[in-house]
């Protein structure tokens, strides 16, 4: 995906899900995009969302991925041991701490010189993850597995985290419909349950740290782990608890639905009232109760839960007149 740089400070900008505005994460300047760029991003999002439509077989997935990866940007990094690492990335985002590159089978975090202790923080936070002893649902698949770390000649550090080829940052899908978002909320509640079980608060939980697989309808939490802390840790004078994860879940859902924030969520043709009310609601005291609440909201919003491919419309799923 094409990168736009801030006219003020040169930083790479983040494009909002509507494809109409961009924000610089460094200097916080907001821009309104011109029509050409808006068309480009909307087209890109539409293409990513088209992956939701079919339960494509392996061959078809590869073909689409090959097509998409033709527009990858190449970057070469020099390791202090003399090796060169080539990274082809579809998307990158940066903040003062790092740049995250979405490569085909990994997410590469490059920590700036002076910020390299965040690579250790990432490792430490991930090692705090704990799963129910049976982990029958294989929840560990949706959390980072670190595949390598490299010191570079410019004193920055690379950390490589595995991902499946079909996982992409949530931001690359733009605005989602109510049903798509309902599916996403279920997956995010799952992620929050693991964070709850592990007593971890993940302050960066959101559109740039969550990666989704449009074919298998899965969501993984790969970014931002350097800022993760234990439940009830004071950060900048504020005590963070796991309820913070559930607030972030609501904000993320509101953002992909195109609302400025969760408090602004409202009933529309696409978003039933119980759904909008859920987004505006205070989280339950823990993720397990919040997930149960969401399950109830889902039934009140869309009726009995049925497995759907994400672009199926209501009529196809529920039949006429039901
Ligand atoms: Zn800027």
Is the torsion defined by CA of 49, 53, 54, 55 positive or negative?
A: positive
Q: What is the pLDDT of residues 253-308, one digit of tens each?
A: 999 999 999 999 999 999 999 999 999 999 999 999 999 999 999 999 998 655 45
Contact 77, 96 (CB under 8 A): no
Which is nearest to 103 in space by CA: 68, 78, 138, 127? 68
> How far, in Å, from the CA of 200 to the mean position of ligand 1?
31
What is residue 261's DSSP assignment? S
pLDDT on residue 321: 34
pLDDT on residue 112: 94
Please give the share of the chain, as a percent, with pLDDT higher than 90. Answer: 80
> How far, in Å, from the CA of 187 to the mean position of ligand 1?
33
Q: What is the pLDDT of residues 145-159, one digit of tens each?
A: 999 999 999 999 999
Contacting residues for 116 by C-beta, under 8 A, at least 6 apart: 155, 156, 157
> How far, in Å, from the CA of 1 to the mean position of ligand 1?
19
In our burial notation (b when 16+ CB lie closer than 10 A, e otherwise), range 205-221 reads: bbbbbbbbbbbebbbbb
Contact 227, 204 (CB under 8 A): yes
> How far, in Å, from the CA of 11 to the mean position of ligand 1?
5
pLDDT on residue 306: 55
pLDDT on residue 54: 63
Which is nearest to 257 in space by CA: 164, 156, 177? 177
> How far, in Å, from the CA of 288 to the mean position of ligand 1?
39
What is residue 264's DSSP assignment? G
pLDDT on residue 137: 72
pLDDT on residue 308: 52
> How far, in Å, from the CA of 183 to the mean position of ligand 1?
34
> How far, in Å, from the CA of 21 to the mean position of ligand 1?
14
For residue 314, pLDDT beyond 90: no
* Element spanning 50, H or E: helix 35-50
d(CA 305, CA 286): 23
What DSSP letter does each residue of 193-208 carry, written as one string?
Answer: HHHHHTTEE-TT-STT
What is residue 269's DSSP assignment? S
pLDDT on residue 316: 46
3-state helix vs strand vs coil in the chain, percent to 5: 35, 20, 40
Q: What is the pLDDT of residues 205-236, one digit of tens each?
A: 999 999 999 988 899 999 999 999 999 999 99
pLDDT on residue 263: 98
> How far, in Å, from the CA of 233 to the mean position of ligand 1?
31
Q: Is the entire prediction scored with pTM above 0.85? A: yes
> How far, in Å, from the CA of 93 to the mean position of ligand 1?
13
What average pLDDT score do residues 243-247 get? 98
Residue holding tokens 């697989």? 213
> How far, in Å, from the CA of 95 to the mean position of ligand 1?
10
d(CA 319, CA 293): 26
Give whole-number Cα distances, 217 to 49, 187, 193, in Å: 12, 8, 18
Residue holding tokens 């129910």? 132
Contacting residues for 221 by C-beta, under 8 A, at least 6 apart: 142, 143, 144, 191, 202, 205, 209, 210, 211
> How far, in Å, from the CA of 13 to the mean position of ligand 1?
8
What average pLDDT score do residues 229-245 get? 96
Confidence label for 55 from pLDDT (cuts 50, 70 and 90): low
Q: What is the pLDDT of residues 161-207, one digit of tens each?
A: 999 999 999 999 999 999 999 999 999 999 999 999 999 999 999 99
d(CA 169, CA 220): 9
> How far, in Å, from the CA of 4 to the mean position of ligand 1?
11
Residue 161: how many other CB atoms lie within 10 Å: 23
| Torsion of the alpha carbons at 168, 174, 176 and 182, rounded to the nearest 10 | 40
What average pLDDT score do residues 13-35 get? 94
> How far, in Å, from the CA of 279 to the mean position of ligand 1?
31
pLDDT on residue 319: 39
Please give the angle made by the CA atoms of 297, 301 and 305, to the nearest 5 degrees.
85
> How far, in Å, from the CA of 38 to the mean position of ligand 1?
19
pLDDT on residue 305: 58
| Torsion of the alpha carbons at 224, 225, 226 and 227, rounded to the nearest 10 | 70
Q: What is the pLDDT of residues 105-125, one digit of tens each?
A: 999 999 999 999 999 999 999
> How far, in Å, from the CA of 78 to the mean position of ligand 1?
27
Average confidence score pLDDT of the chain: 91
> How far, in Å, from the CA of 190 to the mean position of ligand 1?
35
> How far, in Å, from the CA of 3 to the mean position of ligand 1?
13
Residue ranges of domains in the chain, CATH in brackets: 1-50 (no CATH), 170-316 (1.10.510.10)
pLDDT on residue 34: 95
d(CA 125, CA 142): 15
């Amino acid at each position: 995906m094409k990168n736009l740089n801030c006219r003020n400070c040169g930083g790479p900008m983040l494009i909002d899900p509507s494809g109409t505005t961009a924000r610089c994460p460094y200097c916080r300047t907001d821009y309104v995009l011109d029509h050409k760029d808006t068309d480009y991003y909307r087209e890109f999002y539409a293409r990513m969302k088209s992956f939701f439509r079919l339960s494509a077989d392996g061959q078809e997935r590869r073909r689409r991925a090959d097509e998409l990866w033709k527009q990858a940007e190449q970057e070469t990094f020099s390791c202090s041991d003399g090796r060169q690492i080539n990274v082809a990335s579809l998307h990158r985002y940066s903040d003062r701490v790092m740049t995250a590159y979405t490569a085909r089978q990994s997410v590469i975090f490059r920590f700036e010189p002076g910020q390299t202790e965040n690579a250790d923080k990432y490792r430490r936070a991930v090692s705090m993850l704990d799963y129910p002893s049976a982990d029958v649902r294989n929840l560990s698949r949706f959390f980072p597995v670190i595949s390598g770390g490299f010191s570079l000649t410019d004193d920055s550090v690379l950390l490589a985290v595995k991902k499946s080829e079909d996982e992409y940052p949530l931001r690359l899908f733009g605005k989602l419909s109510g049903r798509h978002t309902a599916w996403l909320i279920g997956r995010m509640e799952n992620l929050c349950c693991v964070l709850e079980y592990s007593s971890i608060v993940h302050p960066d939980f959101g559109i740039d740290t969550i990666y989704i697989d449009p074919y298998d309808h899965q969501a993984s939490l790969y970014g931002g782990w350097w800022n993760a802390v234990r439940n009830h840790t004071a950060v900048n004078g504020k005590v963070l608890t796991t309820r913070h994860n559930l607030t972030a879940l609501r904000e993320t859902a509101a953002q992909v639905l195109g609302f400025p924030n969760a408090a602004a969520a409202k009933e529309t043709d696409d978003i039933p009232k119980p759904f909008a009310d859920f987004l505006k609601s205070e989280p339950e005291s823990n993720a397990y109760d919040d997930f149960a609440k969401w399950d109830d909201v889902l039934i009140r919003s869309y009726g009995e839960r049925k497995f759907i491919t994400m672009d199926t419309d209501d009529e196809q799923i529920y039949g006429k007149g039901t």
